[in-house]
Amino acid sequence: MELFWLLVGIGIGAIATSACWVSWNYAKQRHKRKFRKRSHNGVKNRSIHSLKSWAENLHQNSRLEREPSESIAPDDDEVESLLAKIVEVAPIGYIQVDQDNRLAICNERAATMMGIANHHHGLLRKPFLLQLIRSYELDHLVEKTRSLNHSAQVDWVFHPAIPDPANPVPQIGRPIRAHSIYLGRGQVGIFLEDRQEAIAITQQRDRWTSDIAHELKTPLTSIRLVAETIESRVDASAKIWVERLLGEVERMTKLVQDLLEIGQMDVGIAPPLNLKEVELSPLIQAVWSTLEPLANRKQVKLNHIGDRSLTWQLDESRIYRLLLNLFDNSIKHSPSLQSITIKTSVVDSTLHIETIDAGDGFPEESLPYIFDRFYQIDLSRTRSGLDRGGSGLGLAIVRQIVTLHHGAIDAKNHPETGGAWITISIPTQTNSVTNTFTNTL
């Protein structure tokens, strides 16, 4: 019996041992399979990573190889060819002369304006500028630019040369504006602008303005007569309104007269000046008294610097209007609690008048057009942006009055206050001066 149970135990042990061996062997085989799969994936991943790294390195190396060739600047011939194409298709005329005043470049637009035929063939001979373009103004501009080594500008009417002196045909003048640039080594480039269309538009506008002024004279005269008639017949409480109406009619009448005089000056007709010895200090105070209510709103004061006994030969009514316009502009654009300075002096037999305020001054891009009629500065550039613009005639009328006195006027921004700085120069008036007139408008 004991032997039986011994055999049963040995059999169970053998079975258990076999089962353990089979399980262990199965687990071992499974582990090997997993290891081989993991190794395969690892090799595969490493291979992909290596391939990516190789591709990236190859791309980087190829880019480094390309960059030197891409950064190579084009040669001088390519640059010159490109500039020549740009100049030829430019919408503005351009010519260029060398140090000997020989024409080196002339585009199609410039050739058309200057009346140059077959300019491409003519440039091969490198002709002198005056051989193709007979213009003293243009030649003087080149010499001025070369001597000063900076840009200059000139406006003139160009008259082409008569092609056949034996059979002269009248040539139509063309208004031209030339702007020069110094290119170094004696070379000068000149941009040419055809001003014919702009001047035609300006002349049409001026004719329209003159026609309107003529049409306004009659109704203004009628309004004034009616106002003067009823002034003595209204109640005392309403009289102030009639007086205000007469003041506005008077202001409009003067404005219309100014427009008519500007129109006359455009065609070379100068209105006569009523010259006499004028004391400047009392005149300045009288003008300021007229505008004092407007100045008191901003608490703006007037500072007069100069000889209080200074007198000069002037047309008093016109100088009064000149100062009125200047002070009115200064007050409108001055901040509160500031002062407006006017300086009067005599240097080399010339009267100098300067007005300086503490406003925003003139935008740099507007300075060339400040004295053009109807020109108004963008209201967004003013200190508050709320000031209503005027007619655009104030400074144009100021220039007209200065021109009648054969003087000069200039506008800039004062370096200390930053405001408008207007300088006027009026020479000593003589009978010969007052009887002549040069149209500079």
276-287 confidence digits (pLDDT tens)? 999 999 999 999
Tens digits of residue pLDDT in 260-310: 777 777 666 677 889 999 999 999 999 999 898 889 999 999 999 999 999
Q: To the nearest whole number, what is the mean pLDDT of the chain?
A: 78
Strand order of the β-sheet with 152-158 is 103-106, 93-97, 187-194, 174-184, 152-158
Q: In 3D, which of 77, 76, 130 has the Cα closest to residue 103?
A: 130
Binned at pLDDT 50, 70 and 90, residue 93 comes out as very high
User: CATH number of 198-266: 2.70.98.40, 1.10.10.10, 1.10.287.130, 1.10.760.10?
Assistant: 1.10.287.130
Predicted confidence at residue 374, as pLDDT, reads 75
Predicted confidence at residue 432, as pLDDT, reads 42
Tens digits of residue pLDDT in 154-205: 998 898 776 666 666 666 788 999 999 999 889 999 999 998 888 888 778 7
The answer to which of 4-8, 101-105, 351-355, 383-387 has the lowest mean pLDDT is 383-387
The helix/strand/coil state of 389 is coil
Fold agreement (77-160+172-194, 198-266): no
Predicted confidence at residue 181, as pLDDT, reads 93
User: Is the predicted pLDDT of residue 75 greater than 50, yes or no?
Assistant: yes
Ranges of each domain in the chain: 77-160+172-194, 198-266, 275-434
CA–CA separation, 435 vs 441, rounded Å?
18
275-434 topology per CATH: Heat Shock Protein 90 (3.30.565)
Predicted confidence at residue 409, as pLDDT, reads 96
In this structure, whether the domain defined by 77-160+172-194 belongs to CATH 3.40.630.30 is answered with no
Predicted confidence at residue 60, as pLDDT, reads 63
Contacts of 358-361 spanning 24+ positions with Cβ under 8 A: 358/334, 358/417, 358/418, 358/419, 359/330, 359/333, 359/334, 359/335, 359/383, 359/418, 359/419, 359/420, 360/333, 360/418, 360/419, 361/413, 361/414, 361/418, 361/419, 361/420, 361/421
Predicted confidence at residue 48, as pLDDT, reads 42
CA–CA separation, 236 vs 225, rounded Å?
19
Pairwise pLDDT comparison (342 vs 22), residue with the higher score: 342
Predicted confidence at residue 72, as pLDDT, reads 53
